[in-house]
Structure formats: C-alpha cells, structure tokens
Amino acid sequence: MTSEHSGRVVVVTGAAGGIGGRYVASLTAAGALVVAADVAPLAERGTELAEKATAAGPGRAVFVTADITSDDDWAATVDTARREFGRIDALVNNAAIYQGLGGKRHLTALANDEWDRVLTVNVRGTWQAIKAVTPLMRESGGGRIVNISSTVARMGAPGFAHYVASKAAVDGLTRAAARELGPDAITVNAVAPGLVSDEASRTLNTDDYIAMAARGRALGREMAPDDLVGAVLWLAGPSSGFVTGQTVVVDGGGVFT
Ligand SMILES: NC(=O)c1ccc[n+]([C@@H]2O[C@H](COP(=O)([O-])OP(=O)(O)OC[C@H]3O[C@@H](n4cnc5c(N)ncnc54)[C@H](O)[C@@H]3O)[C@@H](O)[C@H]2O)c1
C-alpha cells in the first residue's frame, strides 16, 4: 500500500527519545526514508530503532549521531541524507532538553548556565536545523519543517521557566521561518503536545499530576506518543502544503488558546 509519505526523505531529530522513536517508526511504516538523528550516548539505542523500523518496512531508516547545536554535525547529517537518499523533503525538529531538565524548580533557583543550555539546545538548535536543511530543500523545490513546541508555552506551567520560554520561542521562530522560507515553498509549522505519559514526563511529574492533566482535557484521558503521530505526519507530508506558520495543539482538548 502506498501513502503520501512513500519515498519521501525525512530528517527526525531526538530520534532515540520516546516520542522521536515513534515518529521514526511511523514514518518508516508509511514508506518514508528517514534520517534519524540523536546524540552520541544514544547511538546504540538509535541504531537499533532504525534497524527495527527498516526491518518492518516498507520505508528505511538510517541513524546518525548529531548534536543539533553543532553546525559540523548538521553538515554531516545533511551529507548523509544527500548520499543515502538524494534530498530532504521534511524535517521533524523534535530534539530538546526535556527529560534532561532533571526535575522542576522555581525560576529563582535556576542558574544562568542552566538557562543558557536549555535555550541553546531548544531554540538555537532548532534554528540551526532549519538553516542546515534549507539549501537541500530549496534544490528540490520546497519542503516541510515541523518544529515541536509544547502547550506549556501557553499555560506557563510552573517549575521549568527556561523550558517554557524555549517553547514560546519555538512558536515565534516557526512564524518567522514560515515568512522567510515561504518564497522557497518551504512550509514551517509547529506541533504543541500536551503532557505525554512517557518516560520523560514521569521523571518530571508525579502520577497525580499526570492524572490531573488527563482529567482537565475534553477527551479526559492520558496522552500517548501515538497521539502525536497524525498531526506530525500530516504537517511533514504533501497534503498540508498550504498550511504554514501555525502551531497545532495536540492535547486532547486541554488548552484552547
Ligand atoms: N513528553 C512530553 O510530555 C512533551 C510535551 C510537550 C512537548 N514535548 C516535546 O516533545 C519532544 C520529545 O519529547 P520526549 O518526551 O521524547 O523528550 P526526551 O527528553 O525523552 O527526548 C528528547 C530527545 O532529544 C534528544 N536531544 C537532547 N538534546 C539534544 C541535542 N543537543 N542534540 C540532539 N538531540 C538532543 C535527546 O537525546 C532525546 O532523545 C521534545 O521537543 C519535547 O520538548 C514533550
């Protein structure tokens, strides 16, 4: 069976994480050719995941070690995409410091270097990714960029002000990039997930907090990584071609602004 993703080349960052891994598996299952990128300490996990996705087919995934804040790593990632698959049709800008926050703390307890690290990875790294893939997307006449934001940017959830600020910046970057890359037929959108019941969220939140978030949703249940797949694949695929500069909230009806 063919899908609109068959044969399309998609770069996914943070690919060895809980949610990134679902994007890789879903895109490969839809026939895409995926460059799955994550940091060196997760290379074994990322390689296994890419091999498993390739074995399941019909698409193919290759893992690359890349820190999204390194222009050199980006050059190598883009080279891999060009060498293996010839082009880049879409980028899923999923990597971020989230589980790596380690815990929640009042904003007065955050150190300047922690603030800088989160903003550098989550915002500068997202921009570096966009910069890196743009030339190859231009060469093939356009592309799709999907940034991953968060509903915390709207809610101002307490306990990680640097992370909240970083995701609000991702929303702004999405709009600026949509305007600047529109003339190149590159669309830029964001998906803002609500609280996902994954390993990362469980390290940062109590079970009670996760249950409370579920009760606050119109759909009244916990959210799984799979709940994000439809929106991300749509924005990464051909059929979303006239949608750009938007942040699509996927949270079961928790926030409506
Ligand atoms: N889990 C949630 O509830 C939730 C909610 C809203 C938004 N999000 C966002 O969804 C995305 C995935 O979340 P997750 O739960 O899988 O988080 P996670 O922390 O488990 O995964 C993040 C991934 O990004 C990678 N990463 C971190 N720094 C990197 C760097 N410098 N270079 C390359 N890769 C790097 C990590 O290695 C990891 O694989 C993130 O952007 C997160 O902010 C998550």
Per the domain annotation, does 59 fall within a domain? yes
Catalytic residue among 23, 98, 163, 209: 163
Q: Which pLDDT score is estimated for 201?
A: 94
Q: Which pLDDT score is estimated for 1?
A: 62
Range of the domain at 167: 9-192+226-250
Per the domain annotation, does 209 fall within a domain? no
Please report, for the domain that includes residue 28, its CATH number. 3.40.50.720
Q: Which pLDDT score is estimated for 257?
A: 74
Ligand 1 binding pocket includes 225 (Cβ within 6 Å): no
Q: What is the mean pLDDT of each run of 10 residues along the chain (257 residues)?
A: 92 97 98 98 98 98 98 98 98 98 96 98 99 97 98 97 98 99 99 96 94 97 98 98 98 94
Q: Which pLDDT score is estimated for 247?
A: 98
Per the domain annotation, does 197 fall within a domain? no
Tens-digit pLDDT profile for residues 147-183: 999 999 999 999 999 999 999 999 999 999 999 999 9
Q: Is 163 a catalytic residue?
A: yes
**Mutation pick for ligand 1 pocket among 11, 12, 13, 19 (CB with most ligand atoms within 8 Å):** 19
> What's the CA-to-centroid distance between 9 and ligand 1, angstroms?
21
Per the domain annotation, does 221 fall within a domain? no
Per the domain annotation, does 157 fall within a domain? yes
Question: Which residues, 6 or more positions from 215, have their beta carbon under 8 angstroms from its beta carbon?
Answer: none
Ligand 1 binding pocket includes 38 (Cβ within 6 Å): yes
Answer whether 194's CB lies under 8 Å from 249's CB.
yes
Per the domain annotation, does 4 fall within a domain? no
> What's the CA-to-centroid distance between 158 and ligand 1, angstroms?
19
Ligand 1 binding pocket includes 31 (Cβ within 6 Å): no
Total domains in the chain come to 1
Per the domain annotation, does 203 fall within a domain? no
**Mutation pick for ligand 1 pocket among 45, 71, 98, 155 (CB with most ligand atoms within 8 Å):** 98
Tens-digit pLDDT profile for residues 95-127: 999 999 999 999 999 999 999 999 999 999 999
> What's the CA-to-centroid distance between 45 and ligand 1, angstroms?
15
Per the domain annotation, does 63 fall within a domain? yes
